[in-house]
Amino acid sequence: MDTSLLVPDPAPAAPCRAVADAPPPAAARTPLYRRLADHYQEAIDAGTLAVGDRMPSVRDLMRQHQVSLSTALQSLRHMEQAGWLEARPRSGYFVRQPKRSVIRPVQEPSSLLALDPAQYVGIHEKVSQYIALRQKSAPPIDLSGMTCAPELYAVDTLRQAAMRALRERPELLTSAMPHNGNMAFRHAVARRALNAGMRISADEVVVTHGCIEALNLALRAVAGPGDTIAVESPTYFGLLQALENLGMRALEIPTSPHTGISVEALELAVRTYGNIKAVVVVPNLQNPLGCIMPEANKDALVALCDQLRLPLIEDDAYTELADGNVAPSSLKSRDRSGNVIYCASLNKVLAPGMRLGWMNGGRWHERVGMLKFAHTRANEEWTQVTAAGFIASPAYDRHLRRLREVLREQRERMAESIAAYFPEGSRMNVPKGGVGMWVELPQQISSQRLFELALGEGVGVSPGTIFSNSDRYGHFLRICCGHPFTRELDQALRKLGRIGQQLLDEPGR
């Protein structure tokens, strides 16, 4: 093929500089084979390379871009795995149309009207049944959670840090724990928050048992039994459980799978009901939708809540897993009045087994600290000391860059398989980060039934029914993308697609 179409300058050195020369610092952290693959994928996106066109050969890539044989092969194989190329025996690689690029996105909410809070009770029984079934079956391929495979975390680094902590401070296991958490750990997370635009001191950090405890403390700080809390729809089932356990009601606000919670619907709900005590949102990589709120929407949400003196609780468990080297901004970075309570988790990015989270209570900080003491006392200190040095070191950013890159490749490959195997009419969004994918099945398919049948075949997923007390998500699935893409995983997705098709073809539908 005429490779001059790919790079305007016909001189061989020009394409070489475009990929191989010293890039800006952010780009330098992207592996060379990925920069080369991105270079050609942009050409496909622009139409310079069309479906059916032959890619440059391995030798051509090596010569034109002055890269090694290994780099050229890695680039081609990466694009093949992502679905952009197909290999033909003795002919080379050819551009193809990935199936995931033609599958339709998840639909927007059908209504912007806030719903009646009276119907949002009783989630606990539904979620308990889901958890009991999953635990009883223990599926070999479990795509129901929202964490990465253990081998994707910095296992050796954390093990060495844990052993070093006990060598240096053997009394860690036998001493009383600091009230609000280990100071070195609080300094480390406060410093990272500063880098993200949040001005929080170590003294303003409360260490928690993951993000779910932080959310519980935030809710207790601003509301009581019988109060109504605005939440996204759909939303994380753990939040709905927490609200029910606290005797509070959830008012689900329509939430776009592309732009997040509807600020207009929230304002209408607050002015209509008048008794909403707080709103809980996940602005970055929302669970289960995977969307990231645009900057303008974040501005509007923070401004509205500040104007209404409506406490805004930010659940931030996934931001560090967003694609790229610049994380999406937080709501807390916009807070000037202390109206935002920020709840963070390290479970998804550092180590699920540590159950480490932290929070800043805004203007309710003192109350949050006392609630923490009253309900669970302080976290054990060993894990905090173990994590503190790692988080504060350059090694932590290297770990995050590797993790993001692996997750991006896994999402791309899973999206391609879902698009290939799931019934016609399915929809999905491929999020720009994180570990989950929200899939919309044809409306006739019950995701609860699919979940039950899939368990019987050794595959676990999360049915959409547990992410809301309404009936609107009965044909949705949340699928975890945190596991390496293997032949077994591909076969599991094929099984899900086959079961979905069987349900769609059942007599009487």
**Higher pLDDT residue, 168 or 52?**
168
pLDDT for residue 509: 60
Is pLDDT at 499 greater than 80 in this prediction?
yes
Q: 132-155: per-residue pLDDT in tens?
A: 998 888 999 999 999 999 999 999
Q: 245-278: per-residue pLDDT in tens?
A: 999 999 999 999 999 999 999 999 999 887 899 9
In 3D space, the residue among 208, 215, 206 whose CA is nearest the CA of residue 312 turns out to be 215
Q: 424-476: per-residue pLDDT in tens?
A: 999 998 999 999 999 999 999 999 999 999 999 999 999 999 999 888 899 99
Interatomic CA distance for residues 36 and 451, integer angstroms: 40
Q: How deeply is 504 buried, as exposed, middle or buried, from its count of CB atoms within 10 A (0-12, 13-18, 19+)?
A: middle
pLDDT band (50, 70, 90) for residue 284:
very high
Interatomic CA distance for residues 220 and 227, integer angstroms: 11
The amino acid at 125? E
All structural domains of the chain? 3-97 (1.10.10.10), 101-109+397-505 (3.90.1150.10), 117-121+156-394 (3.40.640.10)
The amino acid at 151? E
pLDDT for residue 41: 85
414, 493 Cβ separation under 8 angstroms: yes
Strand partners, 232: 253
Which residue has 């610092």 as its token pair? 25
Helices (H), 21-122: 25-28, 32-45, 58-65, 69-81
pLDDT band (50, 70, 90) for residue 28:
low
**Which of 99-113, 248-262, 263-277, 333-347 is predicted least confidently?**
99-113
Residues 6+ apart with CB under 8 A from 302: 312, 331, 334, 335, 339, 340
Residues 6+ apart with CB under 8 A from 293: 259, 260, 261, 281, 283, 284, 286, 301
Interatomic CA distance for residues 328 and 348, integer angstroms: 17
pLDDT for residue 10: 32
Is pLDDT at 11 greater than 90 in this prediction?
no
Which residue has 């296992």 as its token pair? 155
Is pLDDT at 4 greater than 70 in this prediction?
no
141, 460 Cβ separation under 8 angstroms: yes
**Which of 17-31, 79-93, 351-365 is predicted least confidently?**
17-31
SS3 343: strand
SS3 125: helix
pLDDT for residue 369: 95
pLDDT for residue 296: 97
pLDDT for residue 78: 87
Interatomic CA distance for residues 249 and 224, integer angstroms: 10
Supply the mean pLDDT for the chain: 89
